[in-house]
Structure formats: C-alpha cells, structure tokens
Structure 1
Amino acid sequence: MNPASLRVRPRVWIGFAIWLAYVAVVFGVQVASGIPYDQWGDSGSNLFWGGGVSLIVATILLAVTTSVLGWWRPALFEDARSRHRWPIFVPILLALTAVLTLVLTDWAAYDGAFFAASLVLLLVGFTEEMTSRGLMVVALRSRLSEVWVWFISSAAFGLMHFMNFFLGQDLVPTLVQVGSAFAIGTVFYIVRRTTGTLIWAMVLHAVWDFSVFAVGHGDPSTVVHSLGLVQMGIGVLALATVWFTFRSVRAADEAAADHQPVKISRS
C-alpha cells in the first residue's frame, strides 16, 4: 500500500507516541482502580475494575486513533506477506498449549461474575496487538527494515509488561514476564507475517492470555507447572525461526507464479 494514500503518512515517531499513550492510559486507569495487580484474581469485581476497565477504554481510544489516521488496512493486513509459511508451526504449538491449559483449568472455581470479568480480558488481544504489531508496525515500516520492525515492535510489547512492577508485582517476576513477552510477541509477529493479517494474531493473543490467567485461578492440575517450560521452548523456537519471515512476496506475484505455464524441455 502506498503510504501517500493514507490519511496521515506513517512516521516512526507516531508509532512510539501511540505506544506511550497506550501505556499511560492503561497504567493510569489501573492505578486509579486502587487494586494491586496481584489481587486481580481475588474476585470478579477486582478483575473487572483492576484490568477490564482499562482495556475497554484503550479499545475505544485505539479504534478512534486508527480511524483518524486512516491506518486500519495496513495495521490489519500485510501488503506483502512472508515468502516462507512453514514458521506458522510455532504459533500452532502455542495455540495447542493454550487449549491444553484451558483443559487443565479448575473451572469449578469460577463463578458467573468472575467468568464475565475474564471475558472482558479478551480485549487484550485487540489492544496490545493493535498497539505493538498493528499501528507501530505501520509506523516503523515507513523507515526501517523488516528485521528492525520485528525487533522494536516485539521489544515494545515486552516493555509494556514492566508496568506490572509499578502495580505491585515483584521485580524479578516482572523482568521474567518482560523477556517472555518479547519471545511470545515474536510468535504473534510470525502469525501476522505468515497469514497476512493481524486478526489471527489478535485471536491467538486473546486466547493465550485468557488461558494463562484462567489456569491460575482455583486449584489447577499439577501438570500446569510444566507448561512454563513449554512456553519457554516455544519462545526459543520463535526466535530461531522468525528470520525466515522477513523476506516478502506480494499476493499478485504469487498468483502470477501459480498460473505461469510449465515449460517442457526437449532433448
């Protein structure tokens, strides 16, 4: 897509400004709730006011911002996606892990209010993806190579989670969360590049976050403790395979190649 055709021409600083605004809004609303991060899981009310409201506000503001910029199309869809599609096996592994995590969740510990508040958290798939791998990617591509687009957008996604330290989480778990988010963010980047759309990354992100939060409620199976190692392994696989997604091919070029007649050599 020609950047000149957009309502506002993409600039790197716009991506960082949106990221900073997102972090500030979410952090501000969560602090205003007065509910520490480690108490969100105590009740449906804590979960909704501590985390859910900030996501609702962020969703509205991001939708307005994207409309004003006119960036919906480039934020959600790749103009030229990855030449190699096979790295999609890494996101598939993450999806299977999320399903297994949901199976191992102690659903008996859920009441109606807590479950309803948990569903609101699904909005994180839209808000964090649109911010880090949607609008920021559009902005970064205005000047930087795809390698830097991946690295900076994934690093920005990881650093988002450092706000949990200021919300009451201990430093070491927060640093681990930031590093893990960088790796898992790479998985979501692979989804965008291999499928050609951010929408599937939003869906996987929402389901993954929901499963991680859900399994921590109540009395989960002891098998759950080993899933952290599985997540780490998936993150390592993502970092090892993401390089193969940087080269692009346009849909029109693919279609032309598929319909090109086969040449038969004559001896």
Structure 2
Amino acid sequence: MTNTVPEKSGFWSRPTLWKLLLLIVAYLVFYLAAGQVISRVFADQIDTDNVVSSASSIIFGVMLPIAIGAVALLIFTVKVGWLSSIFGPQPVRGRGWMWIGPIIVVAAIAAHLAGTDWSAWSAGEIVSLIALGVCVGLAEELVTRGIAVKMLRDAGHRERFVAVVSSLLFALMHTVNFIAGMELATVLATVVYTFGFGMCMYLTMRVTGTIWAAIVLHGLTDPTTILSTGGLDTSVTTGASGATTIATLLTVVLVAFGVVAIFFIRGRVGEEQPARVSA
C-alpha cells in the first residue's frame, strides 16, 4: 500500500467551476510572467525569430518557463493534498471504444517521426525538444487532466461535462500563444486541434486508468510535431507529402473523433458502473 496525504480543508476543498477558472488564469499569468523574466535575463540565448533554432534557445525561450510552471503546479497539488488522487488510479472506468483516442495519437506521433528531416536538427536540439516534451506533458496534463478534471468531478459534474470543459479550457489556454507573437490563423488552428487532442488525452486517462499515460503521450506529441513541422509557429495541419501528409490527415481525424466522442461519454464519479461486456 502507498501512503496517501489527506486532502486539506479550506478554499480549495469545495471546488467550483469559477474556482477552476481562477486557478487556470493564475497559472497562465504566472507562466507568462516567468517567461518575461527569463526572456530578459537570458535574452542573448533566445532567438526571437526562430525560438527552436538552437538548444539554448529551446531551453530558455520555451522549456524553462513551462518547467517552472510545472513545479508551481506540483507544489500547489501537494499543498492541497491532491497528489495521490490525481496520480493514482482513475475513479471512473474506461470503455473499449475509448482506445481509439490514444491509438490515433500514437499513429500521429509515428507519422511525425517518419516525416522528420533529421539532418535539419542537431543532437542538442533534439535532446532539448525531448526535455521540452517532458515539461509540457507534465505541466499541461497536470493542470487540465489532473487538477481540472478532479475539481470538476468533485463539484459533482458528470463525465461528459468534465471531458468537454477540461478539453475546452486546455484549448483556450493556447490562445496565450498569440501574446507570444504566433500568427492568429495558427493560434486558431491550434485551439481547434488542442480541443480534439484534449478529448483524446481524457479518453487515454480513462481507458488506461492513469494520468501517466496521458502525460507520456502528450510529452511525445509536442517534440515530434515540432521536429516534423520545423518550428513552433507552424500550424499542426501543415504538411507536404508522405508521412507528414499522413500526420496531417490523422490530425483532422483526431479533431473529428474528439467531437464525436462527446456524445458517447457516460458516467459520474461514485455512480455504479455496469460490468464490462466482452466483444
């Protein structure tokens, strides 16, 4: 048996949607502020025209603010006593059809890897992008599939509401990319994509029974997408031919599946679920 830390009483012990919104806004403000400080302190290390042009630019221009945000989220999670419940087994069982979500994501990762021009990247840049993926996977999954899902469930919402709202918040979080200078069309495409991706991560967490599966898949998705498309300011639907085109088609399928999945999600924490029926 693992030791568990009891949840704390107080403000965060009575979750509501507005408290979740407050938390996410506070996290984004903290993340942006950290990014501003880092961009000034390490200005000579960051290529503002192409932030993934070197290992140092990736680390200081992208990874470090996210890593700091991830640490802040972990500290918050520990302080309120949610660590074991978020990283422990899921309280709502998944269904067989939910495997479609992670399968699409894995297929897209494989297509991006196959479509990458590896000669265009140095070893240091690749390692830095992998580290970036670890930080992104942990931070974004913790705040949306971890904290957000827990708060929505504890507020008594059904799983369909939990899945849609947590995925929508995940998508809207990416509008801050516009502040960072990303083109509006790319930001809008990213928001649409991240909603579908968020739904697939929710389904991954449900069907595997753990948030760790979502963290791993998310942590692999971002660096492989950057490696394949060539940068952060490139739409996730950009593609030319071959494996990259397959990745683009899979992105469209992912978004479509994420929307369709809404209508099939059932259940609520604490509600008795029917036994699995083998196919």
TM-score by length of 1: 0.84
Partner residue in 2 for 1:159: 172
Partner residue in 1 for 2:235: none
Q: Does 1:206 align with 2:219?
A: yes
Q: Does 1:186 align with 2:191?
A: no
Shifted more, 238-247 versus 188-197: the winner is: 238-247
Supply the distance in 2 between the matched residues of 1:121 and 1:248 (Cα, whole angstroms): 34
SS of the residue 1:39 aligns to: coil
Supply the distance in 1 between the matched residues of 2:48 and 2:172 (Cα, whole angstroms): 16
The equivalent position to 1:244 in structure 2, one of 260, 264, 268, is 264
Supply the distance in 2 between the matched residues of 1:114 and 1:152 (Cα, whole angstroms): 35
Alignment of structure 1 residues 194-233 onto 2, 5 Å = 194-217=207-230, 222-223=241-242, 224-233=244-253
Partner residue in 1 for 2:146: 134
Supply the distance in 1 between the matched residues of 2:57 and 2:215 (Cα, whole angstroms): 25
Structure whose alpha-carbon radius of gyration is higher? 1
Q: Give the structure with the larger helix fraction.
A: 1
Using CA pairs under 8 Å that are at least 6 residues apart, name the structure with larger relative contact order, 1 or 2: 1
SS of the residue 2:50 aligns to: helix
SS of the residue 2:93 aligns to: strand
Matched-pair identity in %: 25
Deviation of 1:235 (Å): 1.7
Unpaired stretches in structure 1, ≥5 consecutive residues: 259-267
| Partners of 1:36 and 1:168 within 8 A in 2 | no
Supply the distance in 2 between the matched residues of 1:253 and 1:160 (Cα, whole angstroms): 33
Q: Does 1:107 align with 2:118?
A: yes
Count of aligned pairs between the two proteins: 250
Partner residue in 1 for 2:33: 28
Deviation of 1:24 (Å): 1.4
Partner residue in 2 for 1:56: 67
Shifted more, 182-191 versus 231-240: the winner is: 231-240
Partner residue in 2 for 1:264: none
Distance 1:176-1:125 versus aligned 2 partners, 3 A rule: same
Compute the RMSD of aligned alpha carbons. Answer: 2.6
TM-score by length of 2: 0.80
Deviation of 1:37 (Å): 6.9
Alignment of structure 1 residues 2-81 onto 2, 5 Å = 6-8=7-9, 9-12=13-16, 13-32=18-37, 33=39, 39-76=50-87, 77-81=89-93
Shifted more, 166-175 versus 11-20: the winner is: 11-20
Q: Which amino acid aligns with 1:178?
A: V
| Partners of 1:38 and 1:169 within 8 A in 2 | no
Deviation of 1:142 (Å): 2.2
SS of the residue 2:154 aligns to: coil
SS of the residue 1:126 aligns to: helix
Q: Which amino acid aligns with 2:97?
A: W
Q: Which amino acid aligns with 2:34?
A: V
| Partners of 1:38 and 1:168 within 8 A in 2 | no
Q: Which amino acid aligns with 1:16?
A: L
- CA deviation digits over 1:91-142, x for unaligned, max 9? 1121122012112211222223212321221211110010011001111112
